[in-house]
């Protein structure tokens, strides 16, 4: 009787096994030729141009496929790069949003200060216009000083 923990040998020809291994390598490297590149068994047999039944008889290759996906996940190199780019863009967007919020708060503070200064300036102008007795005498420029 065979050990159930051992992986049975492939029941496919060496040519089919080579085609499946080449297809697996292309898919895992992100260089598919016949599929969309997703890491699925359907893409594996299509990439190798064999039937699903034939692929299912390649037990050792399927065990390697399952082990690789269990270790590395189902993300292709392109998807991993895309996900990293998205994460970086999200981080940059968060930082820029914080900067915009800070600048908006500074703008609101400046707006409030300018409005207060405008109000004070208007009040001073009104006070100056009310007080008729106030006379502003300009200082006359003096001529050049003569030396003795």
**Mean pLDDT for back-to-back runs of 10 residues, the chain (148 residues):** 57 93 92 90 94 94 92 81 93 97 97 96 87 70 69
27 phi, psi to nearest 5 deg: -65, -45
Per-residue confidence (pLDDT) for residue 2, from 0 to 100: 47
Predicted local confidence at residue 19, as pLDDT? 95
The CA–CA distances, whole Å, from 67 to 32, 41, 62, 64 equal 20, 13, 8, 5
Write the DSSP string, 60-123: HHHHHHHHHHHHH-S--HHHHHHHHHHHHHHHHHHHHHHHHHHHHHHHHHHHHHHHHHHHHHHH
Q: What are phi and psi of 138, to 5 degrees?
A: -70, 150
Please tell me the predicted confidence (pLDDT) of residue 10. Answer: 77
């Amino acid at each position: 009787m065979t050990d159930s923990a051992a992986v049975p040998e492939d029941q496919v020809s060496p040519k089919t096994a080579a085609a499946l291994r080449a297809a697996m390598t292309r898919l895992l490297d992100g260089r598919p030729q016949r599929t969309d590149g997703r890491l699925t068994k359907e893409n594996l047999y299509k990439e190798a141009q064999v039937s699903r039944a034939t692929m299912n008889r390649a037990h050792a290759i399927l065990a390697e496929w399952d082990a690789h996906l269990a270790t590395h996940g189902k993300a292709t190199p392109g998807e991993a790069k895309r996900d990293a780019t998205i994460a970086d863009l999200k981080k940059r967007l968060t930082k820029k949003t914080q900067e915009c919020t800070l600048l908006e708060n500074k703008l609101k503070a400046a707006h409030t200060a300018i409005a207060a200064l405008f109000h004070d300036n208007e009040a001073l102008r009104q006070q100056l216009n009310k007080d008729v007795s106030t006379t502003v005498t300009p200082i006359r420029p003096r001529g050049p000083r003569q030396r003795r």
